[in-house]
Structures are given as C-alpha cells and as structure tokens.
Amino acid sequence: MGQSLFALSSAPAPLSPVRGRTLFFKKGQMFEGTVLKLFPNQTALLRMGSMNVTARLEAALAAGNHYLFQVKQNEGVPRLKVLQAGRATSNQSPGSVQTSSALEAMGLANNKQNKAMLEMLLKEEVPFSKELITKGGHILQRADTFHEQGVHVLSNMYKQQLPLTEEVFQALYQAEKGVPLSQQLQGLKTQLERASESRATSSLQQQSNQAVYQSLMATLEAGVLNNKGMQEAAPVYIQQLLHLSALENISSTLKQGAASLMTKAGVVPDSFGSDAWLASFQAMVIDQRNREIVQNIWPHMSAKEGMPLHTLAPNEFYHTLMTQFSMQEGKAGSKQLQQLLSLFYQAAGKTPDAKLLYNSMLHAVPRWQDMMLSTSEKQAYTVLLQGSFMNTSSDENSMSFVAKQITQLLQQIGMHHERDLRQGVPLSREEAAVSSLKQTLLEYTPYLSSDVKNSAETLLARLTGQQILTQHQEGLVHQSLVQLPLLLGHHRTDLTIQWEGKKQDNGSIDPNHCRILFYLELEHLGETIADVQIQRRYVTVNVLNDHPKPEFLLELLQPFLQEKLSEHHYSLTSVNWKERRKEASFKPAPSSKTAVRQGVDVRV
C-alpha cells in the first residue's frame, strides 16, 4: 500500500500541529541514533529517524557519531545506555552500527535470522526490543513474510502496542499488503461458484459454501453505488431536461437552456417549442391512431385540475404531459423514450427511425462537456450534474442516502461485529436476515471445501486487520481509516477514507479542525486522491490526478459544492486540481505513520 500521506515530507502539511508531540519509550527498548548536540550534565540532543530526542546519557559521547542506544530509565528525561558505537561520518545511513556486535550486546544469538531482523528494524528507524527481534522473527518465518514488508507491519504492531501474535500479524499484513478488497471478494465469489458445481463436496461443505456465498453477494450488492457513465445516464438526463422544459416555477433562461441541450443531442427538432410545433404535438397525442403508443409512454395519464387534456392550450398540454412522463427501468424505458422522440419529430412533419434517433442521442449527450455551451445551456447542464451527485434525504433528520448506504455496507462487512456483540446492539429485520460477512466467515470457514477455505481464511484475516487499523491514536492526534469495496458503474474498486484530527471527549474527530483523504482507482481517471483540509470550518480541497484539469466540470460543480458545505456551516476556500506526477506520489496506508517532519523537537 505504500507510505501514508502524512509520512511524506513533500506532501502538504497536516492541519494538526505535531510540535510538542510526546514520544513514549519503554524500558529496555533500543534504537539507533546520532548525537547532534551535547549539553551539560551528560544530556544530549539525538536524532532518531526523523525526530529529535533530548535524553541523558550514561557515558560521554562525541557529537556527530552514530550509536545504538538502550533505554535504562523512561521516567522524566530518559536515561540511555550505549550498546554500540557506529562510524562517525557526515553522510551516515541508518543501520551503520555493526549488527553482529549489537546482537552480542543484547545477549542474542548471532544467527542469520536475528541479524536479518535487526538490519531491517534499524532501517525502519523505530524503537525496538529483544522480544521484537526474537518473537517477531519467529512470526515472520511462520508466515513466510521474512522481508521488509513483513518487518514494516511487525514494527507497526509494536509501535501501536498490539499483541505480538501470528493472528494479529496476519490480520494486519492482509489489510496492508493483500490484494484490493474488492478483488479479494470477487476471487472468493468465483471459487465458491466453481465449488458449487463440484460433486466432491459433502452436504456440510455445500451448506457452508452456500451460506458464505449469500453473505458475500449481499456485501457486493451493498457496495453498488448509482454512478452511471454519461452515455448510460443519457436517458435519465433527457427525462430531467424534459421536466425542466415543462416546469412553471423556473426561469425562462433555464427552460431555454434545457431545450437547447436537447436540440444539440438530436432529441427534439429545431421547431421544438414553437406555437406551431406545440399545436401539432397536441394533435399527434390526441390522434386515436397513436393511442397504443401514447398509453405506453404515459400509462397513468391524468387530466389537469379536472380539465380534460384535449381542452387545454397547446403549451399547457405539453407542460402537463412532460411533468407526468416517467421512464420505466431497462428496455421498457428505452422503448418509451424512443416512441416519445418519434412523436416529437412527427409533430415537425418528419418520420425518423426511432431506434437510430435514440442511439444517436446516447452518443451525443457525453459530448456536451466538450462543447462551448451558452450561459443558459450551462445552467441546465449544472442542474443535471447536481442531480447526479445529489444524496440528500427526504427526511432532514436522517442520514443522506449515500451516508446510509455506506453505513449499511460497513454493517454488512462486519466492521462493528465485535462491538455489537459486546454492547448487545439489536439488529433490524433486514440486518438479521443476512449475517454480516465476518460473522458468516467465522461460523462457516472451518467447514468450507478445501479449495476455498484458504481464501476465506485470508479474507477473514483481512477484515480483522481492517478493524484493528480503523482507529489509531498517538498523543492528541487521532487517525481513522476504512476501506470499502464499491461498484461504480461497471468498475469495481476500493474506496479508502482516512481521517486525521484531534479526538473529542465523545470519541469522534473534531469536525472544525481535521483532514480527510479519499483515495480511488477510477475506471477512466485512474488513481485519484481528494485531500480535504478543514481549519476552523474553512475547507480546502486538493484533487490529485494525472489527467488534465476538467475546467468545465469544476466551473459548474464548485458553486454546488460551496452551497452544500454552507448548509452544514462550512466555507469552501478553494478547489485545486494538481497533477499527481508533479506532486509526491502517495496513497493512504492502513498502518499509517503519524506525521513527523524534519526538525521537529520532541522532548521526552
């Protein structure tokens, strides 16, 4: 997964200050450091990794030299013992101490495993212990992960004071180094489908496979977001434009823009909206020869305020029918729209091929964003885009639709499994119908057929690791991270969300001063990172992506974003689009390192 954004010196500085952060040493811990400055009473300023540490030494040392230290006393200003001195050079690199003599000084065997472990821990630039070298080495050997990535995960376990066990290591390793969660779910789904066709499985295995499959499908379905591509969304856009063209309480400019966009998409003829066309359209709809088509387009056609439709003025007739037009799902909706487009052109004295006209519309709508649009067209297009991103709820006291869906997805994955068991949280009828994925895996994995059992165990470890990494706190800085499998259109991806900020008394992150990262691999835009920084409820958004800045879309959507943030008492300061290759290449990592900058003084 790579480093966390907050560990990269070239990334934007986090909002929460790191100056004055406390570094906790344990008695017996060891670390490699360089003496920067000497003070009276055998006190010195040391450089450990990227931090400066003030400590009291048991022996007189030389400034500029590299040493391996052990913590003898951790109360107040720590007292350090020198285990070994390294070379004194101006460009010393981590790990310059001699590992063989360092192992001897720690009372450890000078074997290949211990030596390799020490070298990799020194490279991690974190405090470590004899236990981490011996027990950690055994864990890495058993897990067949005796390499830098394994040591990185192990050192994070040690820093976060997690139990040094194989179970915890496997959980964290799968969460950080495993394949994307969405890919993992799809892989297990394929294996379960193949297993269902096998005659070699027992009845118990078949039942277990089926139970896991059902829970897995519920999880995948919970991650389906309504995020259609422009071509796929074209019929919905046309329906919305037809509604706009008929509404009575909107500006004439917006109506004009809606009609103009439909003309550019070939949906309506050039004479659309004229008195002659409106009269002809009314006659076409009332004509009994078109009765079957009209009933299919408007299956629930009703009069306006008790007045028969044929008695209405042509413009009122059009407005009434367009506000009642609602497409069905799938092929039935496509047929409705094709028939309506055909009526539009017949009213202009033309008889086009309805299917050809519909397909032409599908290809024309995506080209709007590349056209030079007029002011009225931009207004109408903005309304369409805002509708695509709208996630408000009809009940202002409840969550938005998207927030509710994300919450349900977290529940279905089993992120709150242990918490709910501990607190005895009652499940709703819908939640009780299908067990969470984690609950199902815990219950049925031991009985799965052998060809899928290993994959299920790996997935279970991944989910547990994600739970462990969901919350991390160092001093006053609180971090929370979650990964979710999503289906955006036809593209499966993982959404990674990472928060950083000060923890409040109720356990949540302070919404007035925090930072939120959204990371996505998108089908067409590729790696995309949205870095949202909030300071005193002022919001700055930096989007990192290798594609050119979409000036047109940002121009249309930024006012909408500003409006929605304002409803929640936030002020948008700027939205910046940056090419990722020109910035630090970063990606939120589950085992995130808290921000540490060069030159920060940490007094222990």
Instruction: Dump pLDDT digits (tens) for 542-593.
Output: 999 988 888 877 877 788 788 888 988 999 999 999 887 666 545 555 444 4
Tell me, what's the pLDDT at 169? 86
**Binning pLDDT at 50, 70 and 90, where does residue 283 land?**
very high
Mean pLDDT computed over 276-303 = 90
Quick: pLDDT tens for 467-501.
877 765 555 677 777 888 988 767 888 888 888 88
Tell me, what's the pLDDT at 391? 53
Tell me, what's the pLDDT at 425? 53
Number of other residues whose CB lies within 10 A of the CB of residue 595: 25
Tell me, what's the pLDDT at 306? 64
Tell me, what's the pLDDT at 471? 61
pLDDT above 70 (res 539)? yes
Tell me, what's the pLDDT at 418? 63
Which overall architecture, per CATH, does domain 23-177 show? Beta Barrel (2.40)
- Beta partners for residue 501, in sequence order: 478, 514
- Beta partners for residue 52, in sequence order: 47, 601
Question: Where exactly does CATH 3.30.750 map onto the chain?
Answer: 1-8+475-604
Tell me, what's the pLDDT at 89? 45
Question: Where exactly does CATH 2.40.50.140 map onto the chain?
Answer: 23-177
For the domain bounded by 1-8+475-604, which CATH number is listed?
3.30.750
Query: How far is it, in rounded angstroms, from Cα 433 to Cα 426?
Result: 13
Query: How far is it, in rounded angstroms, from Cα 265 to Cα 384?
Result: 14
pLDDT above 80 (res 417)? no
Question: Is the CB of residue 293 less than 8 Å from the CB of residue 343?
Answer: yes
The mean predicted confidence, pLDDT, of the chain is 79
- Does this model's pTM top 0.75? My answer is no
Q: CA end-to-end span of the chain, whole Å? A: 31
Question: Is the CB of residue 35 less than 8 Å from the CB of residue 62?
Answer: yes
DSSP reduced 3-state for 499: strand
- Pairing status of strand 601-603 against strand 51-57: parallel
Query: How far is it, in rounded angstroms, from Cα 50 to Cα 502?
Result: 22
The proportion of the chain whose per-residue pLDDT surpasses 70, expressed as a percent, equals: 81
Query: How far is it, in rounded angstroms, from Cα 411 to Cα 408?
Result: 5
Calculate helix-pair angle for 314-324, 275-286, nearest 10 degrees.
Answer: 60
Number of other residues whose CB lies within 10 A of the CB of residue 124: 19
**Binning pLDDT at 50, 70 and 90, where does residue 298 land?**
very high
